[in-house]
Chains A and B, each alone.
Chain A
Amino acid sequence: MTSASRTAAAQASVSGIRASRRAPLVWAAAGIVALCASVAVAVTIGPADIGVADVWSVIAAHLGVGTGAEGVSPIRDGIVWDLRLPRTLLAAVCGAGLAVCGAVLQSLLRNPLADPFVLGVSSGASTGAVLVVVLGVGGGALSVPGGAFIGAVCSFALVMLLSHSLGGTTDRVVLAGVAAMQLFSALTSFVVMTAADAETTRGVLFWLLGSLGGAGWGDVRTGTAVLVLVLAVCLAHARTLDAFAFGQDAAAALGVRVARTRLVLLCATALLTAALVASAGAIGFVGLVLPHAVRALTGPGHARLLPVCALAGAVFLVWVDTLARTVLAPQEVPVGVVTSLIGVPAFVLVLYRTRRAR
């Protein structure tokens, strides 16, 4: 081939890549618009009959813009600003965080079924959190997210140890995750039952199935801070995550310091999972479903996959939570019940596809 035609071929492929790279930017912009719109609409939906205009004027007043909300009673103001908005924002943060954790774990463990819930990390975080909340473990020195983090790391270590001694194949890791999830769920239930008060049953439901019902501004702030931090760490490792596609040895040969990278990223996902579980319980399957759906849009590169995953996860959980609190209104369905109803068929689908690929 002549050098002229070689240059032409190179240019053609470069422009082809530019065109395909624009698409994820469009997706990201669409995601941001969809997220803002979802939050704006979701806060107007609820059992208390508050007009759309009133909801927005309350929020505008608290943000210091607009003309104020004189016509709205303090109770309604409270419902919108102290209940609905933090709950919707926490749903967005949890959805984003769990989707990012799932995407990172799937790459790092080379396992399409990896997800903080499936691997038992969320359950471990729940156990750590209830030990602090119910039994006061740590004597006040340990915060709820701190306890959740220790629980998450413990269950992670258990799953890695179990799956390693079982042979480390995809399905063995999942089986080890199931074992850890059952163990830590049982421990969580047991610890909550020891408290034995009127709130017990509700508490078990919260920690095992997840709920955004108790969301406050403190949860939103902590969750957002940890999400931003962990997302930044993961994005800084985006190329490294790509390098794991053909396994650890291949990643090492591409210049990745495998042990250090795994440690940093596994700790980052454990930290994020812990922060989310501490304020919303163990919401399942978000991290499993979203990355697979988003990969179909953005392709496998993590530099594009992770931010779009975060946006898609946020939008997803805002709507799932809206559904969970309206479908049986005034009764509320735990949000984890809805995500499992969506997630389990997706889990089976992914399992089926990995079977066929083998």
Chain B
Amino acid sequence: MTLNAERVSRTAGGRLILDGVDLSPRTGATTGLLGPNGSGKSTLLRLLAGVLAPTSGLVSLDGSPLDRLGRRDVARRVAVVEQQTDTQVELTVRDVVRLGRIPHRRAWTPASAADEAAVAAALERTGLTGQAGRLWHTLSGGERQRVQIARALAQEPRELLLDEPTNHLDIQHQLDVLALVAALPVTSVVALHDLNLAAMYCDHLVVLAEGRVVARGEPTEVLTTDLVAKVYRVDAEITPTGPAGRPHVRFLGTLPG
């Protein structure tokens, strides 16, 4: 059991952003969320995180409606990594990772040994143990994203939601971040722009267009010339030549219309 969205819709400013979307990510797997800008990927992630409430439909965690669980209880289970984050506070890598313990801590009590152990484990899992003392504003974009993933892991989540975590990263760091996410023993949902990265690292893909699910399944089933033409208005050639026989998308040009 994990997060589950049933026929969720969301309107904003009179516009329908999400229109009756179902999503039930497989436990422990990495689900990729694809679709052009404005297709509702970010909104769906915010609904799954419980930060935003659906206009209609239901998001549940292990069968309980999200709005009936406390914010803190949700944050102990579900962690979020945003697209791009910044702060003006002078924080070290360890300070940022420690933020992940906030939902687990009570007021007036200092961090427990369990808190510190979770922070240490998250730093190690992301290969940041040696960098724990570095200051946030000296980090590169890829390093910052890695630190945010470490912060999310310090929450000890069973579900991890990532909104375009590879935006603004160079190609090495894009691969690096996604390989890290795919290897984590959590249920993750990742919004992505890059179809090839999605094909390489996701177990399951869900494609949104104008707020509706237009395709879902394994990368080989989902990524077809037809789908890319229909959803992105782009002509593409798709061959099973990616790593481990996964689909590889070669773009040929935009389509009229």
Contacts and interface: CB of A to CB of B under 8 A. Distances in A.
Interface of A: 1, 6, 9-10, 13-14, 17, 21, 107, 110-112, 170, 235-240, 242-243, 245-247, 249-250, 252-257, 295, 299-301, 303, 354, 357
Q: Which 5 A-B pairs have the closest CB atoms?
A: A255-B75, A255-B72, A255-B103, A253-B80, A10-B120
Main SS class of interface, A: helix
Contacts of B116: 10, 13-14, 17
A9 B120 contact: yes
Which range contains the number of B residues in contact with the other chain?
35 or more
A244 to B, nearest CB: 9
A254 B99 contact: yes
B121 interface: yes
Interface stretch (B84-92, B200-208, B223-231): B84-92
Contact of A9 (B88, B99, B100, B129): B129
11 contacts: A10-B116, A10-B121, A14-B116, A236-B107, A239-B105, A242-B99, A245-B87, A246-B86, A254-B100, A255-B73, A256-B102
A255 B76 contact: yes
Residue among A170, A236, A301 with max Cβ neighbours from chain B (10 Å): A301
A34 to B, nearest CB: 24
B87 A253 contact: no
B90 A243 contact: no
A158 B224 CA distance: 54
B102 A1 contact: no
B70 to A, nearest CB: 8
Given A110-B87, A256-B71, 18 more contacts: A13-B94, A13-B119, A14-B120, A236-B108, A237-B107, A243-B102, A245-B96, A246-B99, A247-B85, A250-B82, A252-B71, A253-B79, A253-B82, A254-B99, A255-B76, A295-B90, A300-B90, A303-B110
A253 B102 CA distance: 10
A288 to B, nearest CB: 14
A110 B132 CA distance: 23
Contacts of A257: 71
B218 interface: no
Given A112-B88, A246-B86, A14 B117 contact: yes
B120 A13 contact: yes
